[in-house]
């Protein structure tokens, strides 16, 4: 079983329906200030903290920072929430991020602005189909990307983020292991090329990253020959071939800060621009072209589910009864096994890197 093209097209139609029917309004400055102050007061009263993803809106990211929260990738969001003294975590991101936070911190209350915020990678890897796929290849180690449900994580041997995927799969390949990889086929193909591992790929894709087009980036490079291309490995192979640096969200931000280039073409969700401009204020960032053109593309380089994390919805997060993230305790314990395996491996890897420095 795999995610057929018609399944991905169904997901795209669902997203487009949401975009067509969502009422987006720009807040007046006074309205935004009032909402921010209201949220700050409730966070303090509820002993809560915001953990936000790089792909959320700048207003959400800045509020998380101002209130002592975290803006990071999905795993660091969960780790921050685990270590923070707050008894309630408000996860501004998509549903699998809330689930990961709950798995790592089962004793805390985890809320989200809306549980409707999901991910095409998660949707495209239903546990029933994926478990059957794994059962057909019992000799292979199952490695799943963090962008998956708690149930899929529980079925895996390893959970990885994009920043550690190469290291984990290389480690398995060195041990002679064969791998099932899910759900992102582009990231999986990148890992397979880089490691030479024997990998069987699930056929899933991110609807944002899959839209980046190599031809458009090549055209931009002709206009800006001094620009370096930064790409997330969820992008298609043709895009990665043009990249000067391929990496996770955190690695892209680090590359922009450390590389000598003054201009960058960025192939990932445009929410990352807030942190890029914050970390490298003297540099220029250009969003990589997608399949859409200008205003006709309603979700160009912007995850529509991440966009559900709005200040107005966040202001109601403590007053609703349909937005708490719950994970069955037994399932959470199962999912924690491959997560802990990755965390322990990452800790060993960091020690080894420091030892060689």
Q: Are residues 337 and 199 in the same domain?
A: yes
If we measure between CA atoms, which residue out of 141, 36, 95, 15 comes closest to residue 325?
A: 95
Pair (10, 79) in one structural domain: yes
Residues 65 and 198 in one domain: no
Q: How far apart are CA 3 and CA 56, in angstroms?
A: 27
Q: Rounded distance, CA 96 to CA 14, Å?
A: 18
- pTM here is 0.88
One digit per residue, the tens of pLDDT, for the chain of length 357 reads: 344 456 656 655 655 555 554 555 677 888 899 999 999 999 999 999 999 999 999 999 999 999 999 999 888 898 899 999 999 999 999 999 999 999 999 999 999 999 999 999 999 999 999 999 999 999 999 999 999 999 999 999 999 999 899 999 999 999 999 999 999 999 999 999 999 999 999 999 998 898 888 999 999 999 999 999 999 999 999 999 999 999 999 999 999 999 999 999 999 999 999 999 999 999 999 999 886 543 334 446 888 899 999 999 999 999 999 999 999 999 999 999 999 999 999 989 875 533 333
Residue at 301 is within a domain = no
Domain count, the chain: 3
Same domain, residue pair 174 and 184: yes
Which residue among 274, 296, 318 closes a domain? 296
Neighbours of 255 (CB within 10 A): 20
Q: How far apart are CA 72 and CA 282, in angstroms?
A: 21
Q: 279 lies in a domain?
A: yes
Instruction: Report CA 38 to chain centroid distance, whole Å.
Output: 28
Q: Say yes or no: 161 and 259 in one domain.
A: no
Residue 230 domain-assigned (yes or no): yes
Residue at 135 is within a domain: yes
**Is residue 198 a part of any domain in this protein?**
yes
CA angle 283, 220, 72 (to 5 degrees): 45
What is the model's pLDDT at position 24? 59
274: CB partners within 8 A, 6+ apart: 54, 58, 61, 62
Q: CATH number for the domain including 223?
A: 3.40.50.10800
For residue 260, the tally of other CB atoms under 10 A from its CB is 5
**Is there a single domain that holds both residue 44 and residue 77?**
yes
Structural domain range at position 165: 121-206+330-356
**DSSP at 204:** B
> Residue 136 and residue 125: Cα distance in Å, rounded?
16
- Enter the DSSP assignment of 27: P
- SS3 for 111? strand
* Residues 202 and 338 placed together within one structural domain of the fold: yes
Work out the angle at residue 154's Cα, subtended by the Cα atoms of residues 151 and 160, and round it to the nearest 5 degrees.
105
- Do the beta carbons of residue 91 and residue 70 sit within 8 Å? no
Let me know if residue 75 belongs to a domain. yes
> Given this model, what pLDDT does residue 15 score?
54
CB 143 within 8 A of CB 180: yes
> Per-residue DSSP letters for 247-264?
--HHHHHHHHHHSS-SEE
- Output DSSP code: residue 302: S
Judge if 255 and 320 occupy the same domain: no
Residue-level pLDDT at 71: 96
How much is the pLDDT for 207? 86
Residues 338 and 198 in one domain: yes
Q: Name the residue among 162, 163, 168 with its Cα closest to residue 183.
A: 162
- Pinpoint the alpha helices (H) of the chain: 5-21, 29-45, 58-66, 74-83, 95-104, 120-123, 127-135, 150-155, 165-174, 185-195, 214-223, 237-242, 249-258, 273-279, 311-314, 329-356
Whether 162 is covered by a domain: the verdict is yes
Contact status, residue 150 vs residue 327, Cβ threshold 8 Å: yes
**Token output for 7:** 């399944």
Looking at the fold, whether 234 and 245 belong to one and the same domain comes out as yes
Q: How many CB atoms lie within 10 A of CB 71?
A: 24
Residue with tokens 């270590």: 83
State whether 27 and 109 are in the same domain.
yes
Same-domain check for residues 171 and 273: no
Edge to edge, the sheet with strand 70-72 lists 70-72, 48-53, 88-92, 109-111
- The answer to whether residue 243 is domain-embedded is yes
Structural contact between residues 112 and 95, judged by C-beta atoms closer than 8 angstroms: yes
Q: What is the pLDDT of residue 188?
A: 97
- The DSSP call for residue 108 is S
């Amino acid at each position: 079983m795999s995610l057929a093209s018609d399944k991905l097209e169904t997901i795209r139609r669902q997203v487009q329906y949401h975009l067509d029917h969502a009422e987006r309004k720009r807040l007046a400055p006074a309205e935004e200030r009032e909402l921010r102050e209201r949220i700050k007061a409730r966070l303090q009263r509820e002993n809560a903290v915001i953990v936000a993803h790089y792909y959320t809106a700048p207003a959400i990211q800045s509020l998380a920072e101002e209130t002592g929260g975290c803006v990071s990738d999905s795993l660091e969001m969960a780790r921050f929430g685990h270590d923070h003294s707050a008894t309630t975590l408000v996860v501004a991101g998509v549903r699998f991020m809330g689930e990961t936070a709950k798995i790592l911190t089962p004793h805390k209350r985890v809320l989200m602005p809306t549980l409707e915020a999901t991910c095409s990678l998660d949707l495209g890897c239903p546990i029933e189909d994926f478990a059957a796929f794994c059962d057909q290849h019992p000799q292979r180690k199952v490695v799943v990307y963090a962008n998956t449900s708690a149930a899929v994580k529980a079925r895996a041997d390893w959970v990885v983020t994009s920043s550690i995927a190469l290291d984990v799969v290389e480690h398995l390949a060195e041990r002679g292991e064969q791998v099932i990889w899910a759900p992102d086929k582009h990231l999986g193909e990148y890992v397979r090329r880089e490691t030479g591992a024997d990998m069987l790929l699930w056929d899933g894709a991110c609807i944002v990253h899959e839209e980046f087009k190599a031809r458009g980036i090549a055209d931009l490079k002709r206009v800006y020959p001094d620009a370096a291309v930064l790409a997330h490995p969820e992008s298609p192979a043709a895009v990665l071939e043009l990249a000067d640096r391929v990496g996770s969200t955190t690695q892209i931000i680090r590359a922009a800060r450390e590389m000598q280039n003054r201009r960058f073409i960025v192939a990932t969700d445009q929410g990352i621009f807030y942190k890029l401009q914050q970390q490298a204020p003297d540099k220029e960032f250009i969003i990589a072209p997608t399949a859409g053109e200008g205003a006709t593309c309603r979700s160009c380089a912007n995850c529509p589910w991440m966009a559900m994390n709005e200040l107005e919805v966040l202001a109601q997060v403590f007053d609703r009864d349909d937005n708490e993230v719950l994970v069955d305790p037994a399932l959470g314990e199962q999912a924690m096994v491959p997560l802990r395996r990755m965390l322990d491996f990452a800790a060993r890897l960091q020690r080894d890197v420091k030892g060689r420095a």
